[in-house]
Amino acid sequence: MTHIKFNQSPLPRTFGGFVEDILNGNFNKVVKDDFLTNDYFTTHPPVNIVETPEAFILDVVAPGFSKEDFKISAAEKTITISAEKKEAAKNETDKQVRREFNFKSFKRSFSISEVVDANKINAKYENGILKVTLGKKENKQDAPKEIVVE
């Protein structure tokens, strides 16, 4: 049974257009434009999801952020993880020769099951990985009850 579902936005390219680009010899352009750009990984950070008996653990690869940049919210059956990096103020007296640092924002949403306890959700950011732990509700079953047949 799946308890967490991945909501992925559709690719901007249709499948037919993707195949047509490959057949026309533009495979390198397709790979470069769709997967090897900074935009792809900063707008769709990779996520690993692990289920343990006590919790679901989401590992989000998000290097270059600080813990203050993240916003995590749980509403109804969805958890949303977003981050926005503010650009540092530029010193106008210095001449910029080359600029490769580019910070963007991202937002990912996941459907969660009723077994997740909203009070047991916590997050930790360390070494470029945001680890979100979604604790499960305790599975309390009523004690076996003996039924007397009359």
Query: Residue 71 pLDDT > 60, yes or no?
Result: yes
Contacts with 2 (C-beta within 8 Å, 6 or more apart), sequence order: none
Task: Give residue limits of the domains in the chain.
Answer: 4-11+47-136
Instruction: Please state the rounded mean pLDDT for residues 65-86.
Output: 89
Query: Residue 39 pLDDT > 80, yes or no?
Result: no
Query: Residue 105 pLDDT > 80, yes or no?
Result: yes
Instruction: Please state the rounded mean pLDDT for residues 44-51.
Output: 90
Cα–Cα distance between 97 and 74 in angstroms, integer? 43
Q: Is the pTM for the entire model greater than 0.85? A: no
Q: Which has more confidence, 19 or 36?
A: 19
Query: What is residue 133's predicted lDDT score, i.e. its pLDDT?
Result: 95
**What are the C-alpha distances in Å from 31 to residues 24, 36, 66, 86, 100?**
14, 6, 30, 29, 21
**Block residue for tokens 């690869």:** 61
From the number of C-beta atoms within 10 Å of its C-beta (0-12, 13-18, 19+), residue 127 rates as exposed
Cα–Cα distance between 127 and 121 in angstroms, integer? 20
Query: What mean pLDDT is reported for the chain?
Result: 76
What is the CATH code of the structural domain delimited by 4-11+47-136? Answer: 2.60.40.790
Cα–Cα distance between 24 and 49 in angstroms, integer? 37
